[in-house]
A and B are shown apart, each in its own frame.
Chain A
Amino acid sequence: MKLQELTKPWAAFNYGFLDESAKRELRRRILKAIAIPGCQVPYASREVPMARGWGTGGLQVTLTLLKPASVVKVIDQGADDSVNASSIRKFFGRVGGVVETEDTGKATIVQSRHRIPEEKLREDQVLVLQVPNPEPLRPVQPDISIARDMHGDADYGQLWLVLYEQLVKSGRIMQGAEYPSLVNGRYVITPSPIPRWDVPKLNQADHLTILSAGREKRLYAVPPYTKVEPLVFDDVPYRVEDHHDKTCYRSNVTGYFVNELPQEDGSSAYELSDSHFGIKHIRKAEGEPVEIGDTWYKNGRMTDDRA
């Protein structure tokens, strides 16, 4: 028997870039995270050809999930065409031989920074969120081991206290992104800085969400059909950003999450934050046969109330 028959042919790198032991580590951690919704699971974070803080956590999870039949969409704050998003997407194409897409409906994996697409994700899709800071208790408890005990005891009084004091000082909740939310009635997460608008999309969703922080080496998950409840007082309802009457100046679509573009005359223009969602609307208006998926919000109101 020759050595060549026993070994695989030489290759420049593994399929999906990561070596098998790194993938096994990540698969195990992901399974654990899914088994305990919202619980932060530490993992051995590999070096990847990208600086920490640029989405290495999300990158490693996506690389682990990748298979040749995958269709991958990568967005940064809702946009597919930012430098970071396009280079990550191209990287997946090169190391995984996967199909790259900008269409939410066609993707099997959506890796995202700070947004969840407007079109509803399905059971067969996975959302991977890049997370800078996975620990909701960090602002109130800098000591990690004490914070772990606090999670163990579901000791979240101080997170409530932060919300209480925002109401006292400003008369309203000032928490814009990273809104503390209770997953499956047990663990509080501050989902990677997605806006308040996106938090209800996680509740009882059809899709799996994996949130991964490469620098902090921790990941957690919101499995499909899992309760995600923002922390709210009985008498102060949860409010999402008030974008129901904002119209995108490019696509003419109203009632979705928008970016504000200050104009020279002091006024503001608005454009859809989910850029490909806007492009689809423009194409459709121009008569192209474009399929636009069902959306979580309609006219700025969450219609899919599954709670």
Chain B
Amino acid sequence: MTALNVDTPAVPKRQPPRLMLAEPIMTMRGISKSFGDVKALGGVDVTVYPGEVLGIVGESGSGKSTLLRMMNLEDTPDTGSYNLVLPGHQDRNLFDLDRFERRMLRAHHIGIVYQNPHLGLLMNHTSSGNVAERLLIAGNRNFAELRERARQSLAASEFPTERMDATPCELSGGMQQRVQLAKAIALEPAVLLLDEPTTGLDVSVQALVLDTLKRLQRDRAITMVLVSHDLGVIRTMADRVMVMRRGLVVEQGLADQIFQDPQHAYTQQLVHAEL
């Protein structure tokens, strides 16, 4: 069973107990979703373990973003269940939550970075304000503390904090992604969802943002689900990889295994095309 294969050198820099020996932090079962005639997801299972980075790859239209939206409770599938292990939360299908409960759960336990900063940021508010809003929703009412925590969060995302009161419109794409990231990690979420966070950025900027993500992952052991159609990004970031095609998972396993010894014809094709 790959899930118990702790001898793998995939993540030598981290302590092994966090990886896969623990109980999963996120479990999705049988997620399917159709938009009219289009079957975006055809019964997908996802398991995420605490502290790991799960990479999801697949061609355009394979259902990656749809799946991530489900994880963020922005959308409800036609069938399927979803569970997050959170302190103080009972075992229940999160898709049964109402709008308010979803909003609170999202505010406290899930962070997300979208490909398009317009989706994740209030563009006419300051960057620090974008981060502070998260804390405000969670009930923080102390101005000095809001500012300090926004600053810390931005600093952790390696955002130049002297620019923290600039609006995202005045910032470069890479900086905007850092603001999204700061916002997403402000409340130490149980899981951080990243939907193509570096697509559309220059290769050099992309590398810097990925470095930040790696550092965050190492220092804080944040559980991440990273969606990308760029195998290079997945290769540098992911501990485990899920390969999707036409709404189905065609292969999954430890990153090294997937890249060195792909089993499925589609994965082989992807890996060889990338080399």
Q: B-contacting residues of A (Cβ < 8 Å)?
A: 149, 152-153, 155, 157-158, 160-161, 164-165, 167-169, 233-236
B126 touches A155 (CB 8 A): no
A153 touches B132 (CB 8 A): no
Given contacts A161-B136, A168-B165, A234-B142, whether A155 and B103 have CB atoms under 8 Å apart is yes
Residue of A nearest to B150 (CB): A164
What residues of chain B lie closer than 8 Å to A157, measured between beta carbons? Answer: 133, 136-137
Is B146 an interface residue when CB atoms closer than 8 A count as contact?
Answer: yes
A161 touches B100 (CB 8 A): no
Is B122 an interface residue when CB atoms closer than 8 A count as contact?
Answer: yes
Q: Please pick, from B129, B141, B145, the residue contacting A161 in the complex, using a CB distance under 8 A.
A: B129
What residues of chain A lie closer than 8 Å to B118, measured between beta carbons? Answer: none
Is B128 an interface residue when CB atoms closer than 8 A count as contact?
Answer: yes
C-beta contact mask, B150-187 vs A, less than 8 Å → 1, else 0?
Answer: 00000000000000010000000000000000000000
What residues of chain B lie closer than 8 Å to A155, measured between beta carbons? Answer: 103, 137
C-alpha spacing A158/B144, complex, angstroms: 18
What residues of chain B lie closer than 8 Å to A236, measured between beta carbons? Answer: 143
Kindly provide the distance from the CB of A273 to the nearest chain B CB, expressed in whole angstroms: 30
B142 touches A168 (CB 8 A): no
What residues of chain A lie closer than 8 Å to B100, measured between beta carbons? Answer: 152-153
Given contacts A158-B133, A161-B133, whether A149 and B99 have CB atoms under 8 Å apart is yes
C-alpha spacing A21/B184, complex, angstroms: 53
C-alpha spacing A149/B99, complex, angstroms: 9
Is B125 an interface residue when CB atoms closer than 8 A count as contact?
Answer: yes
C-alpha spacing A233/B136, complex, angstroms: 10
Kindly provide the distance from the CB of B74 to the nearest chain A CB, expressed in whole angstroms: 14
C-alpha spacing A167/B126, complex, angstroms: 12
C-alpha spacing A169/B167, complex, angstroms: 12
B128 touches A168 (CB 8 A): yes
B144 touches A164 (CB 8 A): no
Q: Please pick, from B122, B133, B137, B143, the residue contacting A235 in the complex, using a CB distance under 8 A.
A: B143
**Chain B contact residues, majority secondary structure:** helix
What residues of chain A lie closer than 8 Å to B165, measured between beta carbons? Answer: 168-169
A233 touches B143 (CB 8 A): yes
C-alpha spacing A160/B146, complex, angstroms: 11
New A-B pairs, 4, CB < 8 Å, besides A233-B146, A234-B141, A235-B142: A155-B137, A158-B122, A167-B143, A233-B143
What residues of chain B lie closer than 8 Å to A169, measured between beta carbons? Answer: 165
B128 touches A160 (CB 8 A): no
Residue of A nearest to B135 (CB): A157
Given contacts A153-B100, A165-B126, A168-B165, whether A160 and B142 have CB atoms under 8 Å apart is no
B99 touches A164 (CB 8 A): no
B126 touches A168 (CB 8 A): yes
What residues of chain B lie closer than 8 Å to A233, measured between beta carbons? Answer: 141-143, 146
C-alpha spacing A157/B99, complex, angstroms: 16
What residues of chain A lie closer than 8 Å to B143, measured between beta carbons? Answer: 164, 167, 233-236
What residues of chain B lie closer than 8 Å to A165, measured between beta carbons? Answer: 125-126, 129
A–B pairs, 30, beta carbons within 8 Å: A152-B100, A153-B99, A153-B100, A157-B133, A157-B136, A158-B133, A160-B133, A160-B136, A160-B141, A161-B122, A161-B125, A161-B129, A161-B132, A161-B133, A161-B136, A164-B132, A164-B143, A164-B146, A165-B129, A168-B129, A169-B165, A233-B142, A233-B143, A233-B146, A234-B141, A234-B142, A235-B142, A235-B144, A235-B145, A236-B143
C-alpha spacing A164/B147, complex, angstroms: 9
C-beta contact mask, B80-103 vs A, less than 8 Å → 1, else 0?
Answer: 000000000000000000011001
What residues of chain B lie closer than 8 Å to A235, measured between beta carbons? Answer: 142-145
- List 9 tightest A-B contacts by C-beta distance, closest first: A233-B143, A157-B137, A160-B136, A234-B142, A157-B136, A153-B100, A161-B133, A157-B133, A234-B141
A153 touches B125 (CB 8 A): no
C-alpha spacing A165/B99, complex, angstroms: 28
C-alpha spacing A101/B18, complex, angstroms: 77
What residues of chain B lie closer than 8 Å to A152, measured between beta carbons? Answer: 99-100
C-alpha spacing A96/B133, complex, angstroms: 50
C-alpha spacing A54/B133, complex, angstroms: 37
C-alpha spacing A155/B104, complex, angstroms: 10
Kindly provide the distance from the CB of B215 to the nearest chain A CB, expressed in whole angstroms: 28
CB contacts under 8 Å to A, within B28-63, are: none
Kindly provide the distance from the CB of B22 to the nearest chain A CB, expressed in whole angstroms: 33
C-alpha spacing A168/B100, complex, angstroms: 30
Residue of B nearest to A169 (CB): B165
Kindly provide the distance from the CB of B186 to the nearest chain A CB, expressed in whole angstroms: 12
What residues of chain A lie closer than 8 Å to B141, measured between beta carbons? Answer: 160, 233-234
Residue of B nearest to A150 (CB): B103
A164 touches B136 (CB 8 A): yes
C-alpha spacing A275/B128, complex, angstroms: 44
C-alpha spacing A165/B165, complex, angstroms: 9
C-alpha spacing A168/B126, complex, angstroms: 9
What residues of chain A lie closer than 8 Å to B142, measured between beta carbons? Answer: 233-235
